[in-house]
Chains A and B, each alone.
Chain A
Amino acid sequence: MIRLLAAIAALALSAAASAQEFSPDGPFVHPRLASDRTSVAPGETFHIALHQDIAPGWHTYWRNPGDSGLPTELDLTLPEGWSVGEMVWPSPKAYPLGPLTNYGYSGAVTLPVPVTAPADAAPGTIEIPAYASWLVCEDICVPEDARLTLTIEVGPSRPDRAGAALINAAFDAAPQPAGALQAGLVRGPDSLILTLAGAPLDDGADAVSNLAFFPFNASVIDHAAPQRVALDAGEARVDLRPGRLTREAVNEIYGGVITFDRMDGGEAARMAYTIEAEPGAQVSGLAAAPTAPGAAPPAPGLDAATPAPPDAGPAAPAPGISFLQAALFALIGGLILNLMPCVFPILSMKALTLVEKRGIERAEGRLLGLIFGAGVILTFLALGGAFLAVRAAGGDAAWGMQLQSPGVVAGLALLMFLIGLNFLGVFEVGTSLQSVGSGVRDSGRRGAFFTGVLAVFVAAPCIAPFMAGALAYALTQPAHVALTVFAFLGLGLALPFVIVAFYPGLLAFLPRPGAWMVRLRQVLAFPMFGAAIWLVWVLAAQTGANGVLWALIMLLAAGFAAWAFGLRGTLARVTAFAAALLTAGLLYAAAVQPLAVRATAGADAMWADWSPEAVEAARAEGRAVFVDFTAAWCVTCQVNKLGALSERSVTDHFAAHDVALFRADFTNRDRRIADTLAQHGAAGVPLYLMYPVQGGAPDILPPLLTGTIVTRAVDRAVTP
C-alpha cells in the first residue's frame, strides 16, 4: 500500500516536475529515456524506460489500444551480447470516444523494459540508441516518433535515483502477476461472462469499486460496451459484450488486467492484477449484475444494436455452464437416465416390447424406435413449455414440481399399479385393441409413443439431482434456449432405444424369446408395485394418513376394475366401467386432500426447521450452519439422509463443532425454498449448503454425499 501511494506520489511529482509547454502544433509527447542505473555491472539486469510527458487532453496507448490507436513501441539498439525483455505496461485507463473506447495513458507514463548486460561486458561508457514510436490522440491522432540515446557506464552497479523513482513507480502501477485472482471466461447466452475469485476481492462490494477488465487482445471484448459487475466476498462476475474472438465460444486462454479501487482504512487505493482467464470456466457462481439503472448509459449507437439483456429476475441463478455445455450435459444426462432406478421399470418395459416385437420387420422396428423417440422428446418439450408457462406466471417451477401435487402423485401410483396388474396378466390392453381390429401395428405405435411419454414422466425425480446444473441453466434462459436443453435431455433418454431400433443387430445381445418372457413380464410387475409404494409414501408425506387411505381405496377400485375388464361379457364390462369411474373419483379425493405442512420435518431432534432468518441468527452467534434441502419424493435426498447424514462420525462431527443443522423440506411447494435453491443455482433438491463460521458465501456440497465429504466441509467451515 505504501509502495503504491509512493508510486502515485512519484507519478504526480514527475508530472508536476515536467509540466511542460506543449506547442499546439505538436509534438504532443515529450519523450526521454530513463534508467535505474547510472552504472551497470556485467551480468546485471536493469531497466531502461521510455518516459512520455503527454500534452493535456491527449493520450498514448496501452498494449491493447482498444477500438483504435496503436501501442507505443520502443526499439533499443543494444551492443553485442546484451539482451532485452518484455515491456512493463502500467495499468491503463479507459478513454471513451463517443461510441468507441481506447485504453491508454494521459499526463505521463513510464514504460520500462528489462535489459541484461553480458557477464563479459567490457567496462567503460556505452551509448544505447533507441527508436521510439507511438500514436498520440486527442480527438485527432498523430503518429510521433523519436530517436533517443541513453549513455550508461559498465562498471560497479550504481543506481540512478531519478530514473529508479520513475521505473519503480511504473512497476507499482503495473498489475500484480497472474495467480492472485483466479479467472474464467465463458460465452453466456447474452454476454461474455468473466468470473473472478481470490483473496484480493475478499471484502466484496463493501471495499471494492470501479472494477474493470482490460484484455490484452483487442478482439476479446467490445471495449465500449458497459461492463456489468457483480461483487461478493472473494468473487466477482463481469458481464461483457463479446468481441470477434469470443462471439461463438471462448476457446483459448485470454489474459488481461483487472483494476479496481479498494477502500483500505478510509482511503481508496488503485489495485491491478494480471489474470489468465480459463476458457469455458466459471470460478464464481454469482448472478449477473442487473443493468445498472443509474449507471452511465451505454454508449449510444454501437450498443444500441444489442440492448443489454433483460435481467432474468431477482433469483436468477448463474450456473457455471454455457449453452453448448448445457446441451451436452443434457444429452449425457438423458443417456444416464436410462440406467436410473426410477427409469428402470420403464426401461424394462421398453426392452420387453422390443423382445416381443422381434419378429416384426425391420422398417417397422425403426418406426417404433422413432415414435418412441418422438414421444420422449415431445414430452420433454411439453414439460419444458409447461415449466416456462409456470415461470412466466410467476409460480415456483422447480424440477420434480409435478410430484409436489398430490393429484399427480396419486395418479402416478395408480398408473404404476395398473402397469403391474397388466404385467401379471390381470387384463390385456393390446389384445383387446387387436380384437377391435385396429391392428397390431397401430397399437404398437401408440404404445411406443406412450412408452416414450411415460419414460419422461417417471424419470423426472431422477433428473433433478443429476441435471441440476443444466436445468437451472435452462430455466433461467430465454424460452428457445430452455426448450433446446429440454429437447437434448429427451434425445439422450431416447437415443439408446432408437439406436437399437435402427441396428437390430444389437438385438443379438438380447436373449431369445420364449416362455421366460411371460415370467419376466410377471416379475417386472413387482418393481412397478414397488414404485407405487414409493409414490404412496410420497403422498403420505404430502397429505398424511387420509390421503394415503383415499389412494389405497383408489387402488383397490382400480384393481377391481382391471380384473372385471379382463373378464368376458357385457356385465363385466359395465362393472369395469363403474369401477373405473369410482377410481377416478377416489383419485380426485386423494388429490384434494389438504397438504400436510412439513409432515416430515422435525422428525430428527438434531435438525431444526429451516428459514433464512434462523440461518442468519445461527450465523450471528458465530456458528457454522449446515442446511439440507430435501423432499420426500427425492430418492437421492433420502439416501443421503439415511446414509451420510446419519453416520455416527458425521453426527459426532456436527456436535463437536456446534454446527447448526437446518432441514428445508421441499416435499410441498415452498416459495422461499424455491428462491433459495435458485440463488444457489440449483433446479431442485437435494442441495446441501455449509456456511462457514467467518461469514461469506456457503460451500455447496455435491448432491451425493459421503461421510468424508460432510466432515471435510465442516472442517473447512470452522477453520478461520
Chain B
Amino acid sequence: MQTAAKTISVNRRHLVLGASLFAATALAIAAFTGGAKAEPFPGNPAPAFTAATAAGETVSLSDFAGQTVILEWTNHDCPFVMKHYNHGTTMAGLQARAAQEGHVWVQIISSFPGTQGHVSAERAVELNDARGASPAHVILDESGEIGRAYEARTTPHMFIIDAGGVIRYAGAIDDQPSANPATLSGALNYVGQALDEMAAGEPVSVPETQPYGCSVKYEGS
C-alpha cells in the first residue's frame, strides 16, 4: 500500500513537472505567436469600433456580442457593388437572411467626402430602400478609420464576426471577380457558405479570399 501511495505521489509530481516543462515551451511559443498585434485576419479578434449610423444611433461592435456580425464595405456607384445590388439580389438576399437568422448586418461606407460613394445619412437610407436592401445598420466611416482597422480594400469587401468577436471570414462576396452581371449566375457565395457552415457548427471551409472590386475611396486616393 505504502509503495503504491508513493508511486502515486511521484506520478503526480512528475506530472506537475512535465506539465511545467511543456508549459514553459508553450509559453515561449505563445509569446512568439501572440507577440504581434492582432490583425484583421480570420481567427483573430475583430477590431473594435464605435460609430454613428445613418439612422442617428451610436453603435459599437461590442453591442453585438453573442450575435454573428456581417460587415459589408460598399460604394453604391461602384460597378462591382452595382452588380450585386442593381443587377442581382446577392446583397439584399443575404441581408434578409441575416435579419431572419438574428445576425447583425452592418454596411460601412468608407468613402472620403468628395469621393465616389460618399453619401449623406439620408441618401444612404434612400439608396437602400430603393435597392430593397435591409442592413441592420449603415455606418458612414468618412475618416476611413474603421476601413483601415479592417484593412478593407475593395467594395464590396466582406467580414463575418462570430458571437465571440472573432473574425471567421474575410474577403470577396463570391468567386466571380468581375463587374459583369453575367457572372452572377452560378457564382459560389463565400459569405452564404460561411454562414451555413457556422450555423451547422462547422469550421468555415474558405475563411479568407482575395476581395475584388473598386478600391475603397479613402482620403488621398
Interface residues of A, Cβ cutoff 8 Å to B:
67-70, 97-100, 102, 133, 135, 137, 139-143, 218-219, 244, 247, 300-302, 304-306, 323, 361, 363-364, 366-367, 370-371, 373-374, 377-378, 381, 478, 480-481, 483-484, 487, 491
Contact = CB atoms under 8 A, between A and B. Distances in A.
A100 B155 CA distance: 13
Contacts of B148: 99, 300-302, 304-305
Contacts of A306: 36-37, 39
Given A98-B221, A301-B144, A481-B32, A219 B210 contact: yes
Contact of B218 (A100, A367, A483): A100
B28 A483 contact: yes
Nearest to A189: B32
Contacts of B32: 323, 480-481, 484
Contacts of B212: 68, 70
B14 A100 contact: no
B17 A371 contact: yes
Interface in B129-164: 144, 147-149, 151, 153-154
A33 to B, nearest CB: 21
Contact of B217 (A135, A139, A363, A378): A139
A624 to B, nearest CB: 42
B102 interface: no
A487 B28 contact: yes
A244 B219 CA distance: 25
A302 B151 contact: yes
A302 to B, nearest CB: 5
Interface stretch (B18-26, B61-69, B91-99, B187-195): B18-26
Closest 4 CB pairs of A and B: A98-B221, A301-B148, A98-B218, A480-B31
Nearest to B21: A374
B74 to A, nearest CB: 14
A480 B10 CA distance: 32
Nearest to A73: B178
Contact of A100 (B79, B115, B221): B221
B142 to A, nearest CB: 13
Contact of B221 (A97, A135, A305): A97
A646 to B, nearest CB: 43
A371 B14 CA distance: 9
B219 to A, nearest CB: 6
A329 B72 CA distance: 45
Contact of B17 (A143, A219, A305, A367): A367
A369 to B, nearest CB: 9
9 contacts: A100-B221, A102-B215, A141-B215, A218-B210, A300-B220, A305-B37, A363-B10, A378-B24, A381-B24
B21 A373 contact: yes
Interface string B1-44: 00000010011011001101100110011011001110111000
A142 B218 contact: no
Contacts of B37: 305-306
B125 interface: no
A371 to B, nearest CB: 7
A301 B7 contact: no
B220 A377 contact: no
Contacts of A99: 144, 148, 218, 220-221
B208 interface: yes
Contacts of B214: 68, 137, 140-141
A491 B25 contact: yes
B213 interface: yes
A301 B153 CA distance: 12
B39 A140 contact: no
B58 interface: no
A366 B11 CA distance: 9
A480 B35 contact: yes
B204 interface: no
Nearest to A223: B153
Given A98-B221, A370-B14, A478 B210 contact: no
B180 interface: yes
Interface in B164-191: 177-180
B75 to A, nearest CB: 9
A70 B178 contact: yes
A372 to B, nearest CB: 11
B78 interface: yes
B50 interface: no
Contact of A247 (B41, B147, B211): B41
A173 to B, nearest CB: 25
A370 B210 contact: no
B218 A301 contact: yes
B17 A68 contact: no
Nearest to B147: A301
B159 to A, nearest CB: 14
A487 B24 contact: yes
Contacts of A373: 21
A343 B95 CA distance: 67
A700 B179 CA distance: 54
Given A97-B215, A484-B29, A487-B24, A139 B154 contact: no
A143 B83 CA distance: 11
Contacts of A364: 10
A373 B154 CA distance: 52
A478 B35 contact: yes
A98 B211 CA distance: 17
B24 A143 contact: no
B79 A143 contact: yes
Contacts of B108: none
B179 A143 contact: yes
B216 interface: yes
Contact of B219 (A98, A219, A361): A98
A670 B36 CA distance: 35
Contact of B215 (A68, A304, A361): A68
B183 to A, nearest CB: 11
Nearest to A373: B21
Contacts of A300: 148, 220
Contacts of B179: 70, 135, 141, 143
Contact of B77 (A102, A140, A491): A140
B22 to A, nearest CB: 10
A67 B115 CA distance: 18
Nearest to B35: A480
B153 A305 contact: no
Contacts of B31: 480, 483-484
B154 A305 contact: no
Contacts of A305: 37, 39-40, 148-149, 151
A361 B39 contact: no
B113 to A, nearest CB: 13
B115 A139 contact: yes
B60 interface: no
B28 A370 contact: no
Contacts of B14: 363, 366-367, 370
Contact of A367 (B13, B77, B116, B220): B13
Contacts of B17: 367, 370-371, 374
A374 B16 CA distance: 12
Contacts of B221: 97-100, 139
A452 to B, nearest CB: 11
Contact of A70 (B40, B116, B177, B218): B177
Contacts of B21: 370, 373-374, 377
Nearest to A361: B7
A363 B11 contact: yes
A578 B181 CA distance: 95
Nearest to A479: B31
A306 B47 CA distance: 14
Given A141-B79, A366-B14, A480 B28 contact: yes
B10 A68 contact: no
B218 A68 contact: no
A363 B215 contact: no
A244 B210 contact: yes
A133 B79 CA distance: 14
A478 B148 CA distance: 27
A244 B167 CA distance: 14
